[in-house]
Structure 1
Amino acid sequence: MNFNKHLNFEGAHSFLSASQHSWLNYDDAKLINRYSTVQAAQLGTRIHALAAEHISLKIKMPNDNKTFNQYVNDAIGYRMSPEVVLFYSPNAFGTADSISFRDNFLRIHDLKTGVTRVSMDQLEIYAALFCLEYDIKPNKIGMELRIYQKNDILVNEPEPDRIFHIMDKIVRFDKLIEEMKEADD
Structure 2
Amino acid sequence: MQRLGSNGDRAVTRVRVAGGVLLVAHLALVAWITLRPLDVPWVSAANLRPFAGIRADLALGPGTAVRRIGAGLGLLAPLGVLLPLAGGRITASPLGSLLRSTAVGALLSLGIELLQTGVPGQVVDIDSVLLNTLGVVLAHLAVVPAGRAAIRRRSRTRRLAAVLRGDPAQGLTPTIPRVGIAP
Q: TM-score normalised to the size of structure 1?
A: 0.28
Q: Name the structure where helix makes up a greater proportion of residues.
A: 2
Q: Name the structure where strand makes up a greater proportion of residues.
A: 1
| Bigger relative contact order, structure 1 or 2 (CA pairs below 8 A, ≥6 apart) | 2
Q: TM-score normalised to the size of structure 2?
A: 0.28
